[in-house]
Amino acid sequence: MDSDSEDETVYLLEKRRILTEGLFRLPYDLIAYLERAAVHSELGYPDLAAGDSYRALLLCDECANEGFEYHEDALETLRLRAADGFPPVLRSPGTAHADLAGGVEALTIDGDQDQRTLQVISAASARCYRNLSISLLLCGCLKSAFEFCSRGLAAKPEDEELLQAMEYIENMAKRRLKVDEVEINDLPDTGLVRREIYPWNDHEPNRFSQETLDFLNGQLAEVAPKCEVKVTELPTLLESASNTDDYGIIPTNKQLGLFAKADIEPGETVLFEFSLLAANNRLKESLCDACSSELPPLGENTEVVGCPECDDIMFCNEDCLRRAQEAYHPAVCDKDIDTVAKDPNPREKPFALYLLLLSRSLAMAATQEVHPLELTEVKYIWGDFLPSSANAVSLSPNAPPPPIWTLPFSFQYNISGPLHVLEKMDIDIFTSLAEYDLWIFNTLYSKFRGTASARVNKRNGHPEVAAVHPLWSLANHDCNPNVQWEWGGRMKLWCREKRIGDVPGGIKAGEEILNHYCDIDLKVQDRREWAQGSLGGWCMCERCRTEAAEEKAQATNGTSEEKLVNGYAEEGA
Ligand SMILES: C[S@@+](CC[C@H](N)C(=O)[O-])C[C@H]1O[C@@H](n2cnc3c(N)ncnc32)[C@H](O)[C@@H]1O
């Protein structure tokens, strides 16, 4: 980044800070949301621009509909903001004092107050539709972009910006689907956005500080008394196969890892962790709401209990009910929330499970009255973030290719879904911006995607239960692991009896706890493909490198033997 763009970024970040603080003071200010959307766009965060524009659109609806919950507050704020004239953010670029996009209406700012307010609302909702169309297109969410663009065009059929946006969406859809005619239901609706510690995120701890290590080791003392967390160096993984298998030295990066602080015997339990940060996507199934283990059949001696206040929510026993009441259940008790993201269509199952984990973390934050990023289950976990500078989009004509963003994103699962959950929890999504802003949802998703484990349905192989076990997730992967894990109510990690090649198990004090993120019985290529998602790249463990080298040597030998045979045949002929 050159110094001009650095200055520009500093200026925009300050503008963003001021606008956000303004929203804390005037939470129903749709104009401030549109102003912040413009800043987010300029900073290169189209997802955050879409989030702000959607909130502004909701506030336009609040202003326009008398019966709506925040009608008075939203309207009063809008009148305040439009008191001195037409807010500049509603003007199209290049127009002097009114929104003339589409050339259809010159807005009078001197009419009676109601008339003027209606004009401002109409111009604001048009701005929201334009922003949503373009920002969602940039995030790869073509179907949602198309839908918002169509809604905008229904209200303003001649709007030039919307007509232009529709053309972009259709062209992009044709390119992505490789077709000449686009069918709306086929439009892709997920994409990738920046995965980073946002420059304004002051909730992230220094994961390598003594304070963090002491805190985590204090927690480990209870669930894994023979383990400690330490700072370590891990290979920096590439996205896919490369010739670095043969390299003696691979670049590394600093991360955390779990280490034995005393000898551990084969078969011995290494870690036994309970987590309430768990979720399942089966509607009306017999799973404990707290720990997600299968409930035993109901009988006379059953310990299974229900919440006295709400239907159908069951817990293994009084202990799980008590933990739920302390940690998250009051925020969702009797709130008709158990249908959200349940029984999704198979293609959406992973996204839906992450939304359910996010919902659980929001319920935990609301019940415990802490910021979601300050929850102990969340604060210290790995998020696979890239530096903001590596994600930034340069506007310079000599810039290198744009960065590849890595956080999966959709309008439904990142924007409207979490807001829907909060509304179900009776949380005012406007006055709670400091706790429930979109960048916070994105940060939570980054962390969950870097650490959650899922259980699949044995019948259809689809993921149906997911959980984050913050201490278990400190263990790194190796295709020759020294531990084995199983999750059913509690996450259990125990020392393997045997390592690969029938080598006897056992872990010596000081050695790293080596977990496995894939099925280690597979061949090297399949293992690497399986683990790629959770590792964030191509596995470079010793076993993978050795086996890949052996396979390569065999393939090369095979080819030269073949050549020889052919050669003899030719000579003989
Ligand atoms: C669940 S976390 C493991 C704990 C993590 N190292 C930490 O600092 O909290 C998973 C991440 O650890 C890193 N990791 C784990 N095993 C690795 C390995 N064998 N090689 C390289 N990176 C690894 C990857 O970045 C992966 O995305």
Q: Whose CA is nearest to atom 24 of ligand 1?
A: 535
Ligand 1 centroid to Cα of residue 492, in Å, is 19
DSSP string, 498-537: B-GGG-B--B-TTPBPEE-SS-TTS-HHHHHHHHHHHHTS
Torsion angle of alpha carbons 416, 422, 427, 428, nearest 10°? -10
Do 218 and 159 lie in one domain? The reply is no
Structure tokens at 206: 């220094």
Q: Let me know if residue 542 belongs to a domain.
A: no
Residue 333: predicted pLDDT: 93
236 Cα nearest atom in ligand 1: 21
Q: What backbone phi and psi angles, to 5 degrees, belong to 514?
A: -110, 110
Q: Let me know if residue 543 belongs to a domain.
A: no
Do 300 and 391 lie in one domain? The reply is yes
Q: Ligand 1 pocket test: which of 209, 379, 382 has the largest number of ligand atoms within 8 Å of its C-beta?
A: 382
Q: Whose CA is nearest to atom 19 of ligand 1?
A: 477
Nearest residue to 23 (alpha-carbon basis) of 74, 88, 98, 67:
74
Residue 462: predicted pLDDT: 75
CATH number at residue 181: 1.25.40.10
Q: Let me know if residue 330 belongs to a domain.
A: yes
Do 123 and 174 lie in one domain? The reply is yes
Range of the domain at 110: 3-189
235 Cα nearest atom in ligand 1: 21
Structure tokens at 81: 């903001």
Q: Let me know if residue 395 belongs to a domain.
A: yes
Domain boundary residue, one of 431, 451, 467: 467
Do 446 and 365 lie in one domain? The reply is yes
Structure tokens at 303: 């310990």
Ligand 1 centroid to Cα of residue 359, in Å, is 25
The domain tally of the chain equals 2
Structure tokens at 451: 């650490």
Using the Cα atoms of residue 119, residue 122, residue 126 and residue 132 in order, give the sign of their dihedral: positive
Q: Which residues have any ligand 1 atom within 6 Å of their CB?
A: 234-235, 237, 255-257, 382, 384, 450-451, 473-474, 476-478, 535-536, 541
Do 301 and 422 lie in one domain? The reply is yes
207 Cα nearest atom in ligand 1: 8
Q: Let me know if residue 232 belongs to a domain.
A: no
Ligand 1 centroid to Cα of residue 370, in Å, is 28
Using the Cα atoms of residue 424, residue 430, residue 431 and residue 433 in order, give the sign of their dihedral: positive
Ligand 1 centroid to Cα of residue 504, in Å, is 25
Ligand 1 centroid to Cα of residue 348, in Å, is 26
Residue 243: predicted pLDDT: 65
474 Cα nearest atom in ligand 1: 4
Residue 292: predicted pLDDT: 86
Domain boundary residue, one of 424, 448, 467: 467
HEC string of 469-508 equals: CCCHHHCEECCCCCEEEEEECEEEEEECCECHHHCECCEC
Residue 568: predicted pLDDT: 30
Do 360 and 439 lie in one domain? The reply is yes
Q: Let me know if residue 522 belongs to a domain.
A: no
Q: Whose CA is nearest to atom 12 of ligand 1?
A: 476
382 Cα nearest atom in ligand 1: 9
Do 219 and 128 lie in one domain? The reply is no
451 Cα nearest atom in ligand 1: 1
Q: What are residue 408's DSSP bridge partners?
A: 192
Instruction: Yes or no: say if 410 and 144 are a contact pair by the CB < 8 Å rule.
Output: yes
Ligand 1 centroid to Cα of residue 250, in Å, is 15
Q: Ligand 1 pocket test: which of 476, 479, 493 has the largest number of ligand atoms within 8 Å of its C-beta?
A: 476
Nearest residue to 514 (alpha-carbon basis) of 483, 538, 485:
483
Ligand 1 centroid to Cα of residue 409, in Å, is 22
HEC string of 87-118 equals: CHHHCCCCCCCCCCHHHCCCCCCCCCHHHHHH
Do 354 and 458 lie in one domain? The reply is yes
**Strand order in 463-467's β-sheet?**
278-280, 463-467, 453-456
384 Cα nearest atom in ligand 1: 27
Do 175 and 319 lie in one domain? The reply is no
Do 299 and 417 lie in one domain? The reply is yes
Ligand 1 centroid to Cα of residue 323, in Å, is 30
As averages over each run of 10 residues, the pLDDT of the chain (573 residues) reads: 79 98 98 98 97 98 95 95 87 51 40 80 96 97 97 96 96 92 91 96 97 98 98 89 67 96 98 94 81 81 87 89 96 84 74 93 98 97 92 77 88 97 97 98 96 81 86 97 91 96 97 95 94 90 92 71 33 25
Ligand 1 centroid to Cα of residue 191, in Å, is 24
Q: Let me know if residue 200 belongs to a domain.
A: no
Ligand 1 centroid to Cα of residue 522, in Å, is 20
Do 281 and 411 lie in one domain? The reply is yes
Please report the beta strands in 307-347, taking only residues with DSSP state E, as ranges in sequence order. Answer: 314-315
For residue 460, give the 3-state DSSP assignment.
coil
pTM over cut 0.90: yes
Ligand 1 centroid to Cα of residue 535, in Å, is 6
CA distance 161 to 179: 25
Q: Let me know if residue 70 belongs to a domain.
A: yes
Q: Whose CA is nearest to atom 7 of ligand 1?
A: 256
CA distance 157 to 436: 35
Do 295 and 185 lie in one domain? The reply is no
Ligand 1 centroid to Cα of residue 476, in Å, is 5
CA distance 111 to 47: 36
Structure tokens at 19: 């606008």
